[in-house]
Structure formats: C-alpha cells, structure tokens
Amino acid sequence: MTASPDNDNNLDTPMVFIIIGKGYEDKNSEGVELHVMLAAPDDDSAVREALNALSEEGFIEADLDQIGTITEVPIDEPHASAYQGALEGEVAIIRFT
C-alpha cells in the first residue's frame, strides 16, 4: 500500500489549462481562433475565468471547443510566454488571425 494518494489533487506545480475556441467581438464577425492559458484549481474554474477574461477584452461571445492541462513547459512562442504568465496568475489570450 502506498503512503500517499496517487491523484491530481497533490500536484507540485499549479495546473495550467489551455482552452481552445473561437471568440466573437461583434454579432456579424466570423470570429477569431483563440487559445486561452491560465492556472486554475479545476476545469470549471478555468472556463469561468477564461470567459471573464474574454469578456474584459471585448468579446461578446465565445465558443470553447477543447480544454486540457499543459503537461510540459512549452518552448515555442507565443505559448511559452503565455505559460509563464499563467504561472504568475495571468490569463493569457492568444489570438490567431
């Protein structure tokens, strides 16, 4: 029998989520592809914080397609700096135009 539980509740580092979707700045726009990276305790909190951040950036609607956790530190930009920002408590929004 192991001395410590083997689950996601005892991580050494914060969980950094990446959320992939599309954001709309007005009703008639085709939208912009987005990646949102942030640290959160769970996926529900991550989605809520991502939607709040997108709203603050002027998006009136968002279609969030996928959510996952970052398991390795990204080395390519813009995800590397977004990951670092997420570790520092920021919500990073990466736009693809």
Q: What is the pLDDT of residue 14?
A: 76
Long-range CB contact pairs, 62-66, < 8 A, 24+: 62/21, 62/22, 62/23, 62/24, 62/34, 63/21, 63/22, 63/31, 64/19, 64/20, 64/21, 65/20, 65/21, 65/22, 66/19, 66/20, 66/21
Burial label, 83 (beta-carbon count in 10 A; 0-12, 13-18, 19+): buried
Q: Which two tokens stand for residue 9?
A: 């509740």
Q: What is the pLDDT of residue 85?
A: 96
Q: What is the pLDDT of residue 27?
A: 87
Residues of the chain with pLDDT under 50: 1-6
The alpha helices in the chain, defined as continuous H runs, are: 43-56, 79-87
